[in-house]
Amino acid sequence: MRTSPITGLALLGAGALLLAGCAGGASGDAGSGSGEPADTPLSYSQPHTDPFQNAENVGSMERFAELGYATIPATNADRDAAQQITDIQTLINKGAKGLVISVGDADAIVPAIEYANDSSVPIVAIDEAPASGKIAMIVRADNVQMGELACEEMGKRVAADAVVVTLDGDPVTSNGRDRTNGFNDCMASKYPGVKLVNVATEWDPAKAASGIETALNQYGNVAGIYNQSDATFFPTILDTLKSAGKLVPAGQTGHIVQVSVDASPMAMNAIRDGWLDAAVAQPMTDYIDYGVDYLTRAIKGESFQPGATDHGSTIEERNGNLVDLLPTPVVTKDNVEDPELWGNKQFALDAFGVSK
């Protein structure tokens, strides 16, 4: 997995549609600045480095530029929650009139949100949600539902008394909590005989590998692995199973069922090759398009309301903020070649350094 910054994402913006009129309409207070794009610097705050996060960062910054907005170089907190607070404050002090952010720690980020609120600088969060603070819009998937979809795919493929290893994301992130709770609650309700072995990964591939190795040594009937981020964990999982002599393709005796979240380019190839059974796809290009759309509209004084959007999603109020919950299709061999899935787009293939 490459972790260096991504370049060459021009195809993302070129193929994206900036859709106005998603929801809302009543005017509110605009952020400070003239409102003209060239006089309204925007930027992006990234919590840590991985190909998925890099793509969201670079794609958002390129979208700002395509729309004619001035930009301030984006920041990367490198998994340091305190640093992301400093980064956001610094961007505002440098003159940013609006920010798109991805949240590293849902609770720790709140002082930065409050600083932006006090500075009348609109913020849109994509992919992750802060615990509180006023956000113009949160654009993300329903991660509880993603966990439930993964549960359904896993449950119908493993025996009732099997062991399933779950690679849990960091609970300080809303995605980690929601994907864990959605999966666990669904399994307990619909497949109560399946034993879950939860591995606290904190989004660290080394911890994921160690957890898989321990489970394989402790249990003789490990039949499945639930991977909460194939963009982060997938190469590690394949290497770990191969080293243990457990890497067997689907349809053959001894295959360990794998279900993941993200549907990254690596995962798409793994579905084609038979290593991965199903992936719940993140709508990454939509995070970028609608995140930038909501931010630029908020800067102009537009506010938004709960309800159905014109892009197949629903805006809901959660914890005092509005959340645009985007659809998350399940990818299997039946639809893995769909060109509209982000993991099949050229910018994503370039970002992850893979080819079909």
Q: Are 52 and 262 in contact (CB under 8 A)?
A: yes
End-to-end Cα, the chain, rounded Å: 15
Rounded (5°) CA angle 160-176-356: 80
10: Cβ–Cβ under 8 A, 6 or more apart, which residues? 62, 347
The reported pLDDT for the residue numbered 9 is 35
**pTM, whole model, 2 decimals?**
0.79
Q: Which two tokens stand for residue 156?
A: 């119908």
268: Cβ–Cβ under 8 A, 6 or more apart, which residues? 279, 331, 336, 341, 343, 344, 356
Maximal C-alpha separation, the chain: 65
CA 178, chain centre distance (Å): 12
245: Cβ–Cβ under 8 A, 6 or more apart, which residues? none
Identity of the amino acid at 12: L
The reported pLDDT for the residue numbered 353 is 87
Per-residue pLDDT of the chain (356 residues; tens, 9 = 90+): 333 222 333 333 333 333 333 344 333 333 444 568 999 999 999 998 888 888 899 889 999 999 999 999 999 999 899 999 999 999 999 999 999 999 999 999 999 999 999 999 999 999 988 999 999 999 999 999 999 999 999 999 999 999 999 999 999 888 999 999 999 999 999 999 999 999 999 999 999 999 999 999 999 999 999 999 999 999 999 999 999 999 999 999 999 999 999 999 999 999 999 999 999 999 988 999 999 999 999 999 999 999 999 998 999 999 899 999 998 999 999 999 999 999 998 878 887 888 88
The reported pLDDT for the residue numbered 35 is 60
E-strand ranges in the chain read 42-46, 75-76, 98-101, 123-126, 137-141, 163-168, 195-200, 222-227, 257-262, 278-281, 307-308, 314-318, 321-326, 330-331
Q: Are 54 and 351 in contact (CB under 8 A)?
A: yes
Q: Which two tokens stand for residue 321?
A: 């903020």
Q: Tell me the C-alpha distance between 17 and 337, whole Å.
A: 22
161 three-class SS: coil
349 closest CA partner among 275, 267, 237: 267
- Name the H helices within 191-283: 205-218, 230-243, 265-273
193 three-class SS: coil
